[in-house]
Amino acid sequence: MRKSNPGILLVNLGTPDAPTRKAIRRYLRQFLSDKRVINIPTWIWWPILNGIILPFRSIYLSKMYSSIWTKKGSPLLIYSQHQRDALASALQLPVEIGMSYGNPSIKYSIDQLIKQGINRLVVLPLYPQFSSATVASVWDSLYKVFKNYKSLPDIYFIRDYADHPAYINALKICINQSFKEHGKPDLLLISYHGIPKRLVNEGDDYFQRCLDTTKILAKEFSLNDSQFKISFQSRFGYEPWLTPYTDEIIKLLPSKGIKHVQVIGPGFACDCLETLEELDNRYRNYFINAGGEKFEYIPALNAEKTHIDMMCQLVNRFL
């Protein structure tokens, strides 16, 4: 029997290398060329992508990324590196972070693990709620990487963890800290990244997994239907996405007597463009400008100890 040498691959969506139009175009081209993300025939989609979307959206996104960029680089990449290092320290095992789009790529990170002699690979996509647009895309990437390998490690793939007790506990602690610091809000808004309704109609259970997380959190805090609300953000394109939309809800809350709101994005394992610029900045302004008085964004779990403990629990059964 061969000796088991395990290694861990954490996977997140990715980030441009810089907040520049050139870097963002390169990142978007890879992201929006994934059939799991945009399922339109290439001959139709490619001219639209390269002729319209990339030139104009790169300008728009450059301003947004610049507003959150730090001296050390992209927040998502920095938090991901902290997660990698903390998990490696906790497990005393090789851990790498791979990005579905951008750098470091999934292929690069797998190659690094193989060079370290691992023969048992545990893959943890950092998407708590499964979606074919995210988790299944990671699965596709694994196939593409390993199809040229002459020898394969044992591979263990964690589908999602939307209702895992350690994940719920980590979220609960963050929410409790916010309630303790700022007081209990009129409404806890639980915002997830949206996906097209079409995917759900075709069998993607992302919506249900978001409901699973939300229902457990509401029960943990004994919240009634008027004290919390689920919503979906970051829609793209013109087809219908999951509703209600976070931005529309935020603008309406003050007119309904909701003057104090706290917002959490449980689907984001790291703070990133969608949380820092969209939730904490843009949506805060929407709420205040509409007559709201207090707005708090509850940060992502990032490299909090409870988050790392959760990762340990998820991967330990495969080590």
pLDDT at 175: 98
Regarding whether 24 and 97 lie in a shared domain, the answer is: yes
Regarding whether 185 and 221 lie in a shared domain, the answer is: yes
Regarding whether 256 and 152 lie in a shared domain, the answer is: no
pLDDT at 238: 85
Regarding whether 214 and 153 lie in a shared domain, the answer is: no
Question: What is the pTM assigned to this prediction?
Answer: 0.96
> What DSSP letter does each residue of the chain carry, written as one string?
-PPP-EEEEEEEEEE-SSSSHHHHHHHHHHHTT-TTT--S-HHHHHHHIIIIIHHHHHHHHHHHHHHH-BTTB-HHHHHHHHHHHHHHHHHTS-EEEEEEEESSBHHHHHHHHHHTT--EEEEEES-SS--TTTHHHHHHHHHHHHTT-SS--EEEE----TT-HHHHHHHHHHHHHHHHHH---SEEEEEEE--BHHHHHTT--HHHHHHHHHHHHHHHTT--TTTEEEEEE---SSS-BSSSBHHHHHHHGGGGT--EEEEE-TT-SS--IIIIIIIIIIHHHHHHHTT--EEEEE---TT-HHHHHHHHHHHHTT-
What is the pLDDT tens value at each position of the chain, 319 positions in all? 678 899 999 999 999 999 999 999 999 999 999 999 998 888 999 999 999 999 999 999 999 999 999 999 999 999 999 999 999 999 999 999 999 999 999 999 999 999 999 999 999 999 999 999 999 999 999 999 999 899 999 999 999 999 999 999 999 999 999 999 999 999 999 999 999 999 999 999 999 999 999 999 999 999 999 999 999 999 988 899 999 999 999 999 999 999 999 999 999 999 999 999 999 999 999 999 999 999 999 999 999 999 999 999 999 999 9
Regarding whether 311 and 279 lie in a shared domain, the answer is: no
The reply to whether 103 falls in a domain is yes
Regarding whether 241 and 110 lie in a shared domain, the answer is: no
| CATH number of the CATH domain containing 60 | 3.40.50.1400
pLDDT at 173: 98
Regarding whether 172 and 136 lie in a shared domain, the answer is: no
pLDDT at 177: 98
Regarding whether 209 and 155 lie in a shared domain, the answer is: no
Domain range for 222 is 165-298
The reply to whether 1 falls in a domain is no
Regarding whether 10 and 154 lie in a shared domain, the answer is: yes
pLDDT at 103: 98
